Amino acid sequence: MTRKHINYQVIEQNGKPAFAVVPFAEFEKLMAQVELEEPATKKEPTVPHEVAKLVTLKNYSPVKAWRKYKGITQAELAEKLKLTQPALSQIEKTEKGLQQDTVKKLAKALGIKPDQLAID
């Protein structure tokens, strides 16, 4: 791996480095590299504060918290999943151990990514 020399100037404030000044062409190259990287929010799905709050403060399962957040009734979600309402109720009571296929179906029905149901 070869290292490229970047011409820069350090400006100090109170005897400590405060700023690094680079030529504009170097700045543009650096910005192009940064823009190629995906933001963290695109790499990792996020969970709204309201959902996390329902899980932590009200002890809801992630499935129930997301359903409440989305304003969907158990009957509506059960219908989307082709399940009975009591079957969905049992799923909502399950804290962990749902099969990956079930998690994927739940996420799709809720309009979220499967990783967003993994709230610890």
Structural domains in the chain plus CATH codes = 9-37 (no CATH), 49-117 (1.10.260.40)
How far is CA 117 from each of CA 16, 49, 51, 78, 104, rounded to the nearest angstrom?
A: 46, 14, 10, 17, 9
Residue 91: pLDDT above 70? yes
Q: Rounded to two decimals, what is the model's pTM?
A: 0.64
* pLDDT 10s digits, 58-79: 999 999 999 999 999 999 999 9
With bands split at pLDDT 50, 70 and 90, how would you rate the model's confidence at 6? confident
At 35 the pLDDT is 64
Q: What is d(CA 118, CA 96) in angstroms, rounded to the nearest whole number?
A: 9
Segment among 42-46, 108-112, 116-120 with least mean pLDDT: 42-46
Residue 3: pLDDT above 80? no
DSSP 22-62: --HHHHHHHHHHHHHSPPHHHHS----HHHHHHHHHS---H
Contact between residue 80 and residue 107 where contact means Cβ atoms under 8 Å apart: no
At 43 the pLDDT is 65
Comparing CA positions, the residue from 113, 116, 68 lying closest to residue 92 is: 68
Residue 86: pLDDT above 90? yes
Q: What is d(CA 31, CA 22) in angstroms, rounded to the nearest whole number?
A: 12
For residue 76, give both structure tokens.
Answer: 């509506």
